[in-house]
């Protein structure tokens, strides 16, 4: 499996995909900070040129980040079925389980590296270009990211699982959108009427990362801002990781090429 | 003494829905041979090779690959195989060298120089820096062979590898296979839908049609089988056919639309057939001994008599 991981890292770092992904995400965040910096200089009383706002933009967009992870997984899978490269690996005696396991580990390693770079660009450019809010914005950002990491890993694993079971990027994207976005949306509507669906909705990742309310000072409060919510989100993420990993292992074992 | 078999299959069957792609295929591939798997499109060649390579699973039956005969051990021995099945699969944006390097790392093959060595062996050393997507079909096939040769395999499984090669490429390819078989003692299992493509290199043949084995034999035996046939043109072909069966117990013949009978049994025993035609006065019009090539022999086997000769 180690050799497969090494070869996949070799492929990923010799392809444009990951560089384009990380560069685009980093540039967008940098551009946001730069525009806010310019606006700070040009517009008197501009409210958004602060680190609190910049980091808060990421914190409040976790549901979108969940979807961006699906895009990232296309970089990892390398369209193995379309390119028929998985056929070669299997011909060489690498088991389907090892391929799947190695893909998950590669996905975790590369996504962790990408996250560090992208967040690094956001934080460093934020502190260089913007007004320091000093309201604990960095801790808020890290709390949000920490709470959402299992959920993000879960969505990454789910995408890879859909890909290796269904065999194409299109079905992977549709599978992900169906299970992670459309299904929770339907459940959240049903939750308005039925108690059972309300309970279920409380454990769906998309609903959890999308949830917010206001406190008495009209500050946004996310699920991870409460201790119970923080651990609930982590627990849901871990349960999702286990479920999709098991589905993936058994699904790929029966997959014919 | 005949070498032990490197691959054996017993009643190997693969069913897709209602379609039997492989129907109780039993065959033995001797170690050190160049084994030609021949059949028309849909005969089951690729299905058989895909089962060996682990791409698909058999519905029933069993096979032995090297010494492995259960799914747990197949992956271990597959490390000793090099395969090209259907079109060779590579990452389109990566160069020939990068693609091979990817698989070299994946298979844990030591030495970076190995990649250039196989590229050189397959005539791609000049194109090492070319992206796979920009390669011609012939170059892609060569790269597929280079991949199959990576790691010095004991068994090569090649599915119609000559497709897309130009005439010079075909000759080079054949010579390379012969060299690998002779010098490195690599067993080669090669499929083709054109029997004559393999005529000059294969030591053993298996003829497949509609998922069934029509015949498995050595190249010598195949040449013997299809060496000659008698063509007898008579006025009453049906009567002559009845006499063939009655007097000479000959059943391996075909009546052609122009009242010619092709006799595939005992073609050397011309006298008996000519005497039978002459003495019983059934209107012998012509009598000749003809050569039959491998292609025609295969057509005869699958019963496509109209297009046969």
Tens of pLDDT, residues B247-298: 888 887 888 888 888 887 665 677 777 777 776 667 788 888 877 777 777 7
pLDDT at B273: 79
Interface touch A7/B103, C-beta < 8 Å: yes
B57 touches chain A (CB under 8 A): yes
Higher pLDDT, B101 or B176: B101
For an interface test with B, give the residue of A81, A88, A101 to mutate (most B CBs within 10 A): A88
Tell me the whole-structure pTM to 2 decimals. Answer: 0.82
Tell me how many helices (H) and strands (E) chain A has: 12, 2
Q: What percent of chain B has pLDDT over 70?
A: 94
Chain A contacts in chain B segment 118-177 (CB below 8 A): 147, 151, 157
Mean pLDDT check: name the lowest of A76-85, A157-166, A175-184.
A76-85
Instruction: Indicate whether B2 pLDDT > 80.
Output: no
Residue with tokens 């060569």: B142
Tell me how many helices (H) and strands (E) chain B has: 11, 13
- Determine the distance in angstroms separating the CA of B89 from the nearest CA of chain A, rounded to an integer: 4
Q: What number of C-beta contacts closer than 8 Å exist between A and B?
A: 86
Average pLDDT over residues B19-23: 90
B183 touches chain A (CB under 8 A): no
B93 touches chain A (CB under 8 A): yes
d(CA A125, CA A148): 23
Interface touch A83/B92, C-beta < 8 Å: yes
Reduced to 3 states (helix: H, G, I; strand: E, B; else coil), residue A114 is helix
Instruction: Indicate whether B302 pLDDT > 50.
Output: yes
- Determine the distance in angstroms separating the CA of B78 from the nearest CA of chain A, rounded to an integer: 5
**Sorting pLDDT into bands at 50, 70 and 90, what band is B305?**
very low
pLDDT at B307: 42
pLDDT at B306: 38
Instruction: Indicate whether A109 pLDDT > 70.
Output: yes
Contact by Cβ (8 Å): B123, B172: yes
Interface touch A90/B93, C-beta < 8 Å: no
Model-level ipTM above the cut of 0.90 = no
Cα A111–Cα A114–Cα A119 angle in degrees, nearest 5: 120
- On average, the pLDDT of chain B sits at 85
Distance of CA B25 to the CA centre of its chain: 14
User: What b-and-e string marks burial along A133-150, b requiring 16 or more CB atoms within 10 Å of the CB?
Assistant: beeebbebbebbbebbbb
Search chain A and give the residue with CA nearest B73. A93
pLDDT at B303: 67
Average pLDDT over residues B24-33: 92
**Sorting pLDDT into bands at 50, 70 and 90, what band is A105?**
very high
pLDDT at B308: 38
Query: How far apart, in Å, are the Cα atoms of A12 and each of B93, B99, B117?
Result: 11, 12, 24
Search chain A and give the residue with CA nearest B95. A14
Chain B contacts in chain A segment 84-123 (CB below 8 A): 84-95
Interface touch A87/B147, C-beta < 8 Å: no
Search chain B and give the residue with CA nearest A256. B56
Chain length of chain A? 257
Contact by Cβ (8 Å): B297, B252: no
Mean pLDDT check: name the lowest of A187-201, B61-75, B152-166, B295-309.
B295-309
Q: Which residues of B touch A15 (CB under 8 A)?
A: 91, 93-94
Interface touch A85/B81, C-beta < 8 Å: no
Task: Using DSSP bridges, classify how beta strands A220-222 and A212-214 pair: parallel, antiparallel or unpaired.
Answer: antiparallel
């Amino acid at each position: 499996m180690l050799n497969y991981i090494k070869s996949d890292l070799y492929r990923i770092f010799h392809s444009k995909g990951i560089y384009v992904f990380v560069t685009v995400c980093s540039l967008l965040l940098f551009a946001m900070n730069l525009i806010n910096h310019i606006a700070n200089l040009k517009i008197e009383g501009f409210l958004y040129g602060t680190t609190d706002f910049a980091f808060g933009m990421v914190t409040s967009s976790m549901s979108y980040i969940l979807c961006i992870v699906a895009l990232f997984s296309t970089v990892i899978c390398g369209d193995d079925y379309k390119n028929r490269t998985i056929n070669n690996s299997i011909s060489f005696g690498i088991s389907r389980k090892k391929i799947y396991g190695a893909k998950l580990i590669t996905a975790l390693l590369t996504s962790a590296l990408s996250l560090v770079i992208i967040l690094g660009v956001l934080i460093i450019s934020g502190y260089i270009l913007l007004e320091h809010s000093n309201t604990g914005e960095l801790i808020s950002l890290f709390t949000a990211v920490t709470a959402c990491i299992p959920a993000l890993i879960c969505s990454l694993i789910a995408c890879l699982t859909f890909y290796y079971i269904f065999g194409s990027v299109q079905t992977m994207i549709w599978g992900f959108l169906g299970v992670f976005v459309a299904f929770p949306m339907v459940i959240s509507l049903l939750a308005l009427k039925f108690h059972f669906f309300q309970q279920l909705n409380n454990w769906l990742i998309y609903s959890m990362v999308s949830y917010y309310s206001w406190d008495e000072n009209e500050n946004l409060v996310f699920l991870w801002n409460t201790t119970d919510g923080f651990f609930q989100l982590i627990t849901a993420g871990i349960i999702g990781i286990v479920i999709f990993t098991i589905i993936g292992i058994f699904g790929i074992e029966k997959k014919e090429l | 003494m005949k070498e032990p078999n490197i691959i054996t299959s017993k009643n190997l069957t693969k069913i897709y829905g209602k379609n039997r792609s492989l129907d109780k295929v039993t065959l033995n591939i001797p170690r050190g041979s160049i084994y030609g798997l021949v059949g028309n499109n849909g005969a089951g060649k690729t299905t058989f090779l895909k089962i060996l390579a682990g791409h698909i699973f058999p519905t029933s039956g069993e096979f032995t690959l090297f010494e492995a005969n259960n799914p747990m051990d197949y992956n271990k021995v597959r490390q000793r195989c090099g395969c090209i099945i259907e079109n060779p699969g590579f990452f389109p944006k990566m160069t020939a060298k990068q693609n091979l390097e990817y698989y070299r790392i994946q298979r844990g093959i030591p030495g970076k120089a190995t990649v250039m060595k196989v590229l050189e062996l397959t005539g791609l050393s000049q194109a090492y820096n070319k992206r796979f997507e920009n390669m011609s079909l012939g170059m892609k096939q060569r790269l597929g062979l280079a991949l199959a040769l990576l790691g010095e395999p004991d068994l090569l499984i090649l599915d119609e590898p000559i497709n897309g090669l130009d005439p010079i490429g075909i000759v080079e390819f054949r010579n390379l296979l012969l060299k690998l078989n002779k010098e490195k003692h690599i067993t080669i299992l090669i499929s083709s839908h054109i029997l004559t493509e393999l005529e000059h290199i294969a030591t053993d043949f298996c003829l497949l049609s509609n998922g069934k084995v029509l015949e498995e034999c050595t190249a010598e035996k195949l040449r013997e089988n299809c060496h000659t046939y008698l063509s007898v043109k008579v006025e009453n072909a049906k009567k002559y056919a009845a006499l063939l069966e009655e007097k000479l117990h000959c059943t391996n013949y075909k009546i052609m639309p122009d009242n010619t009978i092709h006799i595939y049994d005992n073609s050397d025993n011309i006298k008996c057939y000519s005497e039978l035609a002459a003495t019983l006065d059934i209107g012998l019009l012509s009598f000749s001994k003809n050569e039959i090539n491998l292609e025609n022999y295969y057509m005869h086997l699958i019963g496509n008599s109209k297009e046969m000769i």
